Amino acid sequence: MSPATETGVAAIAAALTTMPGGPGVYRMMDAAGGTLYVGKARSLNKRVTSYTQIGRLSERLRRMVTATATMEIVTTHTEAEALLLEANLIKRLKPHFNIVLRDDKSYPWLMLTEDHPYSQIAKHRGAQIRKGSYWGPFASAWAVNQTVTAMQRVFLLRSCADTVFSTRTRPCLLFQIKRCSAPCVGRIGTEDYGKLVGQAKAFLAGKSGSVQKELAAEMELAASELEFERAAAVRDRLRGLTFVQGNSVVNPASLTDADVIAGWQIGGQTCVQVFFVRGGRNNGNRAFYPAHAKADETPEVLSAFIAQFYDDKPPPPMLLVNQELPEQDLIAEALTLKAGRKVEIALPRRGEKHAVVLHAETNAREALERKLAESAGQAKLLEGVARLFNLPGTPERIEVYDNSHIMGTNAYGVMIVTGPDGFIKGAYRKYSIRGPVVPGDDFGMMREMLQRRFSRALKEQAEGAPPAEWPDLLLIDGGAGQLSAVRDVLADLGVQDVKVVAIAKGPDRDAGREWLHTDGQEPFQLPPRDPVLYFLQRIRDEAHRFAITTHRAGRSKTVLQSELEEIEGIGPGRKRALLNHFGSARGVKMAGLPDLEATPGISRETARRVYAHFHPGVRMETTA
């Protein structure tokens, strides 16, 4: 046993002297305070004792014990509670030795508001604060948008915001194309509109059969009363409902609310495919690629995935899986505890449910095969980059920098990151240039951006940040001047182990005739159809796209905020009151007059002045 390993075992043994024997969660931490591993146990003392028996541990666990300096524990009442806490900590801390689900995206839901006489149907993300009923989750924005469109076609519900609704004087285009019943201008009363909302909720709850019968009866009644126009309108709704019911890829009649979860493993990598079934309809699917050790088997990965996946979202009553899970009953118990109702985990062997699981499994296998094929192509390109610029090895992290501004105003710099798995969107960064910036001083902007990025990186590195955050290659949009400016910044910071490349378009700015500048090599060009050139162009263009969109968003925000200052009678205090109430300048611009008048600190006269500024030509009623 090495001295370092003995130190790690001693740290664990010291923690064992005061460790209880009940259920709980333990964290192994390195000398810098970073979390190496999070685990749960029915008996903390017994479970942690196993880490002191080095001869029985795998090589991976021995490395973990060697790096351990301290331990922390949290006791719980039950093992199920420990499982929920473990999943929460793993998802938040992302320890190196755990199976980690890297999924920080929020999922879209369909919302029917209940704080307005005429309910609005809309896509919703984030906290469910507004009063209403929420249906989902959906796998993607596309899936929920398709459902909103279908619901409009069948149930004629409004999708406009309350501020738009309150200012309408005539029906919008959606009424003309039979996607809305136009409650904004009184084309339908609250009682009849309430019936439409009730039918929509019944449909979303999986009671489409009863809705279909109700519509059919309504159509026959209208026809018998010779109201053929109304009968035709109901017929169109009935056709839309039939289309919606038969248009999903997977609509299992035996499932109402369930998630179908299937894992497939190739070469130590795992894809987990999740299908969301709600109300008997397929709400779409999404593929996940959890980070884990090559020795981890599919059932272990699925168990960790399920615990972390439902950490921030409610589980449905049933989960269908394609593998028998370790501690399956415990996971079901933990999810039941979280949901406040029974949650069942099942491995179907036959019938329709089995067919649905096989379908998800096939999707997982095909998605993983595609990803591996793409990774192989990406790996070849990165090897070509390494050869081209004489790098010591294949780059794991390439950072590309660009900036955007208009004559020095609204200046933003951006960093995008790519690696063996493609673009790493979660690592993208925006830098609002503090300046002052002289118009056209791109060197100054690049200098400020790099100083901020690498000063922070050096600080984090000193505090024990993971080495993956350090780039192998910097790509700059520019020529010899930009290369020199970047080299000076890095030299001032003492950064010497990062290769810098500047890519500049030719005299005619033709794509394919770029010049490449780097230290130790004369400027050179690649053949126009060289795959590595295409790769460099693609990542350069991605940085340019990100810089442009960041600049436009910042400029729009600034324009709106400065527009508030132009309104007579709006000083800093009233501007702050408006922004605090509506959340943004855009929210103020979109607000209706009643909402503005209800803003704390804003008088009726001021509200009318603000509304008139953003809605010139709109007549406001006067009251005595």
Write out pLDDT tens, residues 607-622.
888 887 777 756 665 5
Asked whether residue 391 carries a pLDDT value surpassing 50, the answer given is yes
pLDDT value for 184: 92
pLDDT reading at 243 higher than 80 = no
- 81: helix, coil or strand? helix
The mean pLDDT value for 86-100 works out to: 90
Q: Please list, in sequence order, all residues whose beta carbon lies within 8 angstroms of the beta carbon of residue 348, skipping any fewer than 6 positions away.
A: 320, 354, 356, 357
As a whole number of angstroms, the distance between CA 268 and CA 373 comes to 15
Task: Output the pLDDT for position 240.
Answer: 62
pLDDT band (50, 70, 90) for residue 560: very low
Lowest mean pLDDT among 61-70, 158-167, 341-350: 158-167
pLDDT exceeds cutoff 70 at 522: yes
> Which range has the worst mean pLDDT, 261-265, 335-339, 341-345, 374-378?
374-378
Query: What average pLDDT does the structure give for the chain?
Result: 83
The whole-number pLDDT of residue 468 equals: 47
Average pLDDT estimate for 515-541: 87
Class of domain 398-555: alpha beta
Instruction: Give the neighbor-by-neighbor strand order of the sheet with 109-113.
Output: 121-124, 109-113, 132-135
For the chain, give the percent of residues with pLDDT over 70.
86
Residue 158 per-residue DSSP state = B
Mean pLDDT (whole number) for 113-132: 88
Tokens for 214, please give them: 């109700």
Q: Give residues with Cβ within 8 angstroms of 172, minimum separation 6.
A: 160, 180, 182, 184
Q: How would you classify the pairing of strands 521-524 and 515-518?
A: antiparallel
Domain boundaries, the chain: 3-93, 109-245, 258-370, 398-555
Res 375 pLDDT > 90: no
First-residue to last-residue Cα distance in the chain = 91
Say what percent of the chain tops pLDDT 90: 27
What are the φ/ψ torsions at residue 510 (nearest 5 degrees)?
-85, 130
Q: Look at strands 429-432 and 409-419 and give their pairing.
A: antiparallel
Given a cut of 60, whether residue 406 has pLDDT beyond it is no
pLDDT of residue 11: 92
pLDDT recorded at residue 482: 83
Mean pLDDT of 375-396: 89
Which region among 64-68, 206-210, 333-337, 491-495 has the lowest average model confidence (pLDDT)?
206-210
Locate 325 and state its tokens.
Answer: 């899970």
Number of alpha carbons in the 13 Å side-chain half-sphere of residue 372: 14
| Nearest CA-CA partner of 398 in 379, 383, 414, 382 | 382
pLDDT in tens, 20-36: 999 999 999 998 888 99
pLDDT at 74 over 90: yes
- CATH code of the region 3-93: 3.40.1440.10
For residues 557 and 23, the model is more confident at: 23
Judge whether 291 and 99 are in contact, CB under 8 Å.
Answer: yes
Give the confidence band of 41 by pLDDT, cuts at 50, 70, 90: very high
Give 386's pLDDT tier (boundaries 50, 70, 90). very high
**Sheet of 70-75, strand order:** 35-41, 24-29, 70-75
Domain 258-370 has CATH 3.40.50.20: no
Per-residue pLDDT at 70: 93
Evaluate if residue 255 carries a pLDDT over 80. no
**Backbone phi, psi, residue 411, to 5°:** -80, 130
Of residues 245 and 428, more confidence is placed in: 428
Confidence of residue 85 (pLDDT cuts 50, 70, 90): very high
Decide: residue 176, CB within 10 A, 0-12 exposed, 13-18 middle, 19+ buried: exposed
CB neighbour burial string for 208-230, b if at least 16 within 10 angstroms, e if fewer: beebbebbeebbeebeeeeeeee
Q: Read off the pLDDT of each residue in 115-130 and give the average, rounded to a whole number.
A: 87
Q: What is the torsional sign of CA 565, 570, 571, 574?
A: negative
Q: Is the pLDDT of residue 493 over 60?
A: yes
Query: What was the pLDDT predicted at 624?
Result: 38
Asked whether residue 252 carries a pLDDT value surpassing 70, the answer given is no
Distance between CA atoms of residues 189 and 109, nearest Å: 27
Q: Which residues contact 301 (CB under 8 A, 6 or more apart)?
A: 99, 263, 265, 270, 272, 290, 292
Least confident of 150-164, 165-179, 242-256: 242-256
Asked if the domains at 3-93 and 258-370 fall in one CATH topology, the answer is no
